[in-house]
Amino acid sequence: MDKSRINIAVIEPSHIVFEGISNVLMKFKKDFYLFRFNDLEELKQSTSKEKFNVAIINPSAIQNRLNDFVKLKNAHSNTLWIALIYSFFDDDLLHKFDDTLSVNASLNQIYHKLGQINNSTEKSQQEDLSDREIEVLIQLVKGLANKEIADKLNISIHTVISHRKNITDKTGIKSLSGLTIYAITKKIVPLDHGAV
Amino acid sequence: MYQTHKTYITPDIKMADLVVENPKLLLLLEHFEIDFAVKDKSVAQLCVENKIDLAVFLVFGNLYNGFFPDKNEINALEDISTIIRFLKNSHRFYKHDKYPELKSFLVQLHERQNSEDILLIEKFFNDYFEEVLEHLDYEESIVFPYICKLIEDGKIARKNNFSANEYREHHTDIETKLTDLKNLLLKHISLKNDFSLRRKFLFSLFELEYDLNVHSLIEDKILLPLVGKIEIEPSNG
């Protein structure tokens, strides 16, 4: 799965509020994927397939299912559980969540709440290639196939593929001809290598 | 991917207001051969005057505005020949307008400073352009005639070398290289000075990317499923 992608589960019965959430999230230009669920049970089922970074939940959805909620939350402690509040709820109920988000929150406040999850993904975005990635890039530009690179560098073909993916993530360049230009302009390989 | 917060286009909206909001709709008008002087006319009026299927216009216009149609809306589209005409016009736009324009910017950049980096970019672009031309030719000589024949006959045996999957891969290739080009210029290669030329080049590139995005959505997600529907429908005669 794409590391930079952030999965957000939403349980919110109102269409208008849900649309509002997705519009607001879109403004942040992050790789947010929204999944909408009707109730806790639906969300629970899908946690077996999908990993969620954040769950934004209307507290009314857990009101009569407190035990289920606490169990689910404990089972997925890496998820940030946020209560979405636009009417009155008991404090005891709200304390079951990691955090709360008021429907009146400003864009800046929302950004900071979500900032807690953004940081972890930021690391993979650094542009500098590692030494190993540079070695793989050099062989790629020479025109070697994954298998040949694996043999030459004494690594498995899976490692080659994962290096390739990281190179593309870091540089934003996917095609071989694009990578060749990247390698030449960054003086990783001399001009005569693959540039014909 | 492009992201917009634009108006959802409905038949009674005035075209001029829509263009003011999203100038890229000029491309839509051009591909539909609608004159830019739209006066105070609504979308529906323009379509009647220019003999363009309203449903197709709405779906395409909304794609430019960032809304993807649902399955029912796609299945309800009947006027495939309008779709083909639109696509052919956008091909003409790429071939005779957009790519030559980008090319001339690169030539000018190169004339001003003879650096290796620009040469490389130029080479990358020329190779890429060749690839695009090949793909457009393939569509015009194989895909479109096949579809036109299909509409005429209602149904024909699948016989020529048209493959939907291969077709989709072409599109991915074309988009990948375009993104690469954009990233090379935005993230990695610094060309001294020449702000104005580089800006023109980048703006032109973004415009092309936007239009190509919509173009391949139309071909992959709308045209192909519609054609697939005709292919499997039992022939009535």
Same domain, B99 and B48: no
CATH domain A6-124 topology? Rossmann fold (3.40.50)
Fold identical between A6-124 and A131-185? no
Q: Where are the domains of chain A?
A: 6-124, 131-185
pLDDT tens-digit readout, B18-69: 999 999 999 999 999 999 999 999 999 999 999 999 999 999 999 999 888 9
- pTM of the shown model: 0.72
Same domain, B116 and B208: yes
Same domain, B156 and B62: no
Tell me: pLDDT of B236 over 70.
Answer: no
- What tokens were used for B121? 């970019």
Whether B45 is covered by a domain: the verdict is: yes
Residue B129 touches chain A, beta carbons under 8 Å: no
Residue B116 touches chain A, beta carbons under 8 Å: yes
Same domain, B89 and B60: no
Same domain, B135 and B42: no
Q: Out of A23, A26, A185, whose CB is closest to B117?
A: A185
- What tokens were used for B181? 């080009």
Residue B166 touches chain A, beta carbons under 8 Å: no
Same domain, B42 and B86: no
Distance CA A150, CA B154 (A): 52
Helix and strand numbers, DSSP H then E, in chain A: 9, 5
Given B29, B47, B75, the domain boundary residue is: B75
Nearest to B214 by CA among B20, B15, B6: B6
Same domain, B114 and B209: yes
Comparison of pLDDT for B2 and B104, the residue scoring more: B104
**How would you write the pLDDT of chain A (196 residues) with one tens digit per residue?**
455 678 899 999 998 999 888 888 887 767 788 899 999 999 999 988 888 989 999 999 998 899 999 999 999 988 999 999 988 888 888 999 999 999 888 888 888 887 776 544 444 455 689 999 999 999 999 999 999 999 999 999 999 999 999 999 899 999 999 999 999 988 888 876 444 4
Residue B127 touches chain A, beta carbons under 8 Å: yes
Shortest Cα–Cα distance, B175 to chain A (Å): 10
> Was domain A131-185 assigned CATH 1.10.10.10?
yes
The predicted structure's pLDDT at residue B73: 92
Given B75, B91, B120, the domain boundary residue is: B75
Q: Which residues make Cβ contacts (< 8 Å) with residue A167, sequence separation at least 6?
A: A129, A133, A136, A137, A140, A173, A179
Same domain, B70 and B88: no
Indicate the burial class of B156 (C-beta count within 10 angstroms; 0-12, 13-18, 19 or more): middle
Shortest Cα–Cα distance, B235 to chain A (Å): 41
Same domain, B121 and B210: yes
Same domain, B224 and B119: yes
Chain B residues in contact with A195 by the CB 8 A cut-off are: 120, 123
